[in-house]
Amino acid sequence: MKNVKSFTMPSRVLHWVMAVMILAMIFIGVFMASTVGSDYYRLVALHRSVGIAILVLAMLRLGNRLHTPPPPLPEDLPPVIKVGAHASHILLYVLMIVLPLVGWGMLSAGGYPIPLWGQSVRLPPILPYDPMLWAELRSAHTLLAFLLFGLVLAHITAALFHGLIRRDGVLRSMLLRASLDPISQESHGD
């Protein structure tokens, strides 16, 4: 096994909370697309609220990552895999921020009110009313959601590759129980 340090506890908690939220959003989006009636409106309200929560947490997570860089990848990992890992993480962060903003912009351009958590909190529109822009943003939101879904699948596949095939400590470095492992005693920031 390689000597891989663990992510800090805040990094791990943010990762797993957001992982659950993003997977929930994927399922909510699928159910939304195939539902009509009052259930549809409940799903839309939930989708909006969770999307804004993901945006806020993604910004916190980005700040955390800039403040506390992740542990290095194993030295023996091929350079092409290292480049792919870094590129996919950058794209994940971009999508976690851009996708909710596109959704917010889409609702704004459609002239829809944007209530969160009931009617007590409303987001202001970030774009002017424009039905053509709404249609373009709706298509972009759908495309970006599919891209995020594919990237999440690739991310899960890579994690399983590191955990089950390479057994190089990369997966363990992000697990919430990583602090119990001897390898994480060298962890930075925990």
Listed by start position, the domains of the chain span: 9-179
Nearest CA-CA partner of 153 in 54, 57, 65, 23: 23
Q: Tell me how crowded residue 190 is: count the other CB atoms within 10 A of its CB.
A: 17
pTM, whole model, 2 decimals? 0.86
Residue 36, pLDDT score: 86
pLDDT at res. 4: 53
Handedness of CA 34, 148, 55, 109 (dihedral sign): negative
Topology of domain 9-179 in CATH is: Fumarate Reductase Cytochrome B subunit (1.20.950)
Task: List per-block mean pLDDT (blocks of 10 residues) for the chain, which spans 190 residues.
Answer: 73 96 93 88 90 96 94 93 96 98 97 83 94 98 96 96 93 76 40
- For residue 86, give Cα distances in angstroms to 68, 145, 159, 177: 16, 20, 14, 24
Q: What is the pLDDT of residue 184?
A: 38
